[in-house]
Amino acid sequence: MTDYATDYAQWQASRLAALKAPEGWLNIIARVWLAEGTVTLGSAADNDIILSAGPSYVGSLTQDAQGNVTYTPEDGAPQKLELSKYKPPRFTAGNLLLEVTSLNGENAVRVRDTASDAPSKLAPIDYFPLDPTWRITADWVALETPKGLTVDTSKSIPTDVEATHKAVFVRDGVTYELLATHGSPEAPQFVIRDATSRDSTYPASRFVFGESVTDNTIVLDFNKAINPPCAFTEHAVCPLPPAENVLPIRIEAGEKRLRG
């Protein structure tokens, strides 16, 4: 069995590979909200949505009054998209990977350039020194009734979420609670901010994903606290932490601010 430091190094490598992957966050070249009607997109100047890379004419997107979206390739038949908040429909055109995302009932087209050199230009991500004491087994407490919250986002688009559990842990004799507002039952996502945001970490938030979830415990490894997608691209919409998840302590673990 590998030791914790080795596992952590492997996690860092996987994290970097995911960022640089064709479906990562570094190669996004556009994100445009859709309205009712039809828009064309491509790199040619006479498109409604002009892209910085890819074919001259990708095709068109049509959104009807009910918010349904149909994609018509430049040289193909119309395709009605199965919209999903968690698994956006995807399609390709040349070196482009496109998807239609949904948020608060509104749709947007997001475009990745899989031939982009942006991944190769990412500066190394800085981390706090690995501190095993920040890998914490917390109590995983089901709320008596699910708690509805409206959280803001990096694009000032308030979003309604629901929390069903909280993680409760003790650090230096003080008890802290964090609400899981996103993620999945196997990997609940905590959007947090702590005192290091003033000088060392991304000011808006960081993400921590719960591990080894049982009925009454959850592992919070703050060494794996990561920068949100909006730290890497202006084309992402990231949740901000609810008030409950803004901690007054310094969590000197995990990813620091990006260089520059």
pLDDT tens string 177-190: 999 999 999 999 99
Residues 94 and 197 in one domain: no
Place of tokens 């694009």: 155
Question: Half-sphere exposure of 229 toward its Cβ, with a 13 Å CA cutoff?
Answer: 18
Question: Do 75 and 149 have their domain in common?
Answer: no
Please report whether residue 13 resides in a domain.
Answer: no
Q: What is the pLDDT of residue 135?
A: 98
Q: Domain span at residue 58?
A: 28-115
The b-or-e profile of 150-178 (16+ CB within 10 A means b, else e) is ebebbeeeebebebebbbebeeeeeebeb
DSSP assignments along 132-151, one per residue: GGGEEEEEEEEEEEEEEEEE
Q: How many domains does the chain have?
A: 2
Is this prediction's pTM over 0.85? yes
Assess whether pLDDT exceeds 60 at residue 1: no
Asked, for residue 188, whether it belongs to a domain, the answer is: yes
pLDDT in tens, 55-98: 999 999 999 999 999 999 999 999 999 999 889 999 999 999 99
- Using the 3D structure, point to which of 56, 90, 115 is the last residue of a domain: 115
Residues 88 and 142 grouped into a single domain = no
In angstroms, the CA 85 to CA 102 distance is: 5
Cβ(55)–Cβ(62) below 8 Å:
no
149 and 225 inside one domain:
yes
Q: In the listed set 77, 97, 115, which residue is the last one of a domain according to the structure?
A: 115
- Judgement on whether residues 161 and 199 belong to the same structural domain of the protein: yes
* CA atoms lying within 13 Å on the CB side of residue 134: 17
Picking from 66, 93, 115, the residue at the C-terminal end of a domain is: 115
Q: Which pLDDT belongs to residue 26?
A: 97
Q: Are residues 130 and 103 in the same domain?
A: no
In a domain, 50, yes or no: yes
Q: Please give the average per-residue pLDDT across 102-130, as a whole number.
A: 95
* pLDDT at residue 85 in the model: 87
The 8-class DSSP code of residue 95 comes to T
Of the pLDDT bands very low, low, confident and very high (cuts 50, 70, 90), residue 115 is very high
Q: What are phi and psi of 23, to 5 degrees?
A: -100, 15
Q: Would residue 85 count as lying in a domain?
A: yes
Confidence band, pLDDT 50/70/90 cuts, at residue 260: confident
Residues 157, 240: one domain? yes
Residue 2 pLDDT greater than 80, yes or no: no
The beta strands (E) that lie in the chain are given as 28-33, 37-42, 49-50, 59-63, 69-73, 79-80, 90-93, 96-103, 106-113, 135-151, 159-171, 174-179, 182-183, 188-192, 206-209, 217-221
* Confidence at residue 228, expressed as pLDDT on a 0 to 100 scale: 98
Residues 111 and 202 in one domain: no
The pLDDT of residue 170 is 97
Specify the CATH number for the domain of residue 109: 2.60.200
If asked whether residues 132 and 85 sit together in one domain, one would say: no
User: How many residues does this entry show for the chain?
Assistant: 260
Same domain, 109 and 179: no
- The verdict on residue 253 lying in a domain is no
Q: Are 188 and 217 in contact (CB under 8 A)?
A: no
List for the chain the helix, strand, coil content (%; round to 5): 15, 40, 45
Whether 143 and 217 share a structural domain: yes
Query: How many angstroms separate the CA atoms of 62 and 206, rounded?
Result: 36
The per-residue pLDDT for range 204-257, each reduced to its tens digit, is 999 999 999 999 999 999 999 999 999 999 999 999 999 999 999 999 999 999
Whether 68 and 161 map to the same domain: the answer is no
In whole numbers, what is the pLDDT of the chain averaged over residues?
A: 96
- pLDDT at residue 118 is higher than 90: yes
Whole-number Cα distances in Å, 238 to 68, 113, 254: 24, 21, 18
